[in-house]
Amino acid sequence: MVFLQPGDMSAILLSLKVATAATLVATPIGIAVAWFLVYGRFPGKTLVEGVVNLPLVLPPVVVGYFLLLLFGKNGWIGSILLKFNIQIIFTLSGAILASAVVGFPLLVRSIRLGMEAVDHSYHHAARTLGANVWDAFFTITLPLSLRAVFAGMTLMFARSLGEFGATIILAGNIPGRTQTIPLAIYDYTSTPGGDRMALSLCLVSIFFSFVVLLISNAAAGRSMERR
């Protein structure tokens, strides 16, 4: 890490902060949405499903732009938040929001697959033993799909570490405030003579991705043993 510039450290920390926060914020919502998609019976379910999955296929820049429209100073949500003196755009919250929205479909997909794989008869058994719908969900279905939830979280964490398009539109590229690793790399590559510095950050990025992979594999292995 001899090649790292002083500013790089803040980019790395910021990246970790953004990815962690985005994952933690999105997980409860992801569990709720996945439950809705698996067990909910309502008209227009396909539409909801489409909207949830949209960020997966849209260019992140487009997602970022929509978020900017919504959360901007004159945006639908942004104008309300401004009354409480909360600003999303060009802040850390903006970077977290962008990462959360872009990674969300990956999280939901994983949790949903996990929940669908849990035999619903366990839920039925819990109900006949006196557990209501919520009780049965939190004590049976959720613990049994915990592995999938964790897999979704690691996937989303990794995706957030690499988030670029939506972040640069919504949060900008402000060193020390919203500049994450990918944004810093982008800065270096557009500066003459920044190639080596870009490469060292790339190595950091590869290192993190690898660690996340190892953790997710180890977790999967441990839960296999328990079975």
Partner 1 sequence: MELSCDIQKLLGTFSFRANFHIGGSQERGTHLAGTKVGIFGPSGSGKSTLMLLLAGLLKPDKGRICLGETVLYDHAAGINLPPEQRRIGVVFQHARLFPHLSVIKNLLYGYNRVPRAQRCIQPEEIIRVLALEHLLERGVNLLSGGERQRVALGRTVLSCPRLILMDEPLSGLDENLKLQIIPYLNEVSAEFGLPLLFISHSLLEMRLMTNQVLLVEAGEVQELIATETLATKLWRSGRQSYINVLHLDSPRERDGIFVYNWGGLSLVLTEQAEDDNAVFELDARDILLFKRHPEATSARNLLSCTVEELSPAGNRVLVDLLCGDGGSTSNNTSSDGIGERGRQRLKVQIVPESVRELGLAPGREVVAAIKASSFRRAG
H or E stretch at 131:
none
Distance CA 113, CA 181 (A): 31
Q: Does 221 bind partner 1 (CB under 8 A)?
A: no
Q: Does 143 bind partner 1 (CB under 8 A)?
A: yes
> Whole-number minimum distance, CB 42 to partner 1, in Å?
17
Distance CA 78, CA 68 (A): 9
CB 183 within 8 A of CB 168: yes
- By beta-carbon proximity to partner 1, the closer residue of 139 and 217 is 139
Q: Give residue for tokens 């309300």.
A: 80
Q: Does 219 bind partner 1 (CB under 8 A)?
A: no
- By beta-carbon proximity to partner 1, the closer residue of 122 and 210 is 122
Distance CA 70, CA 176 (A): 25
Q: Does 31 bind partner 1 (CB under 8 A)?
A: no
> Which of 41, 83, 196, 226 forms a contact with partner 1 (CB under 8 A)?
226
> Whole-number minimum distance, CB 84 to partner 1, in Å?
41
> Whole-number minimum distance, CB 54 to partner 1, in Å?
34
Q: Name every residue whose Cβ is closer than 8 Å to that of residue 176 and which is 6 or more positions away in sequence.
A: 7, 10, 14
> Whole-number minimum distance, CB 192 to partner 1, in Å?
58
Distance CA 15, CA 182 (A): 9
Q: Give residue for tokens 């849209």.
A: 58
Site for partner 1 in 102-141 (CB under 8 A): 119, 121-122, 124-133, 135, 139-140
Binding site for partner 1 (CB under 8 A): 119, 121-122, 124-133, 135, 139-140, 143-144, 226-227
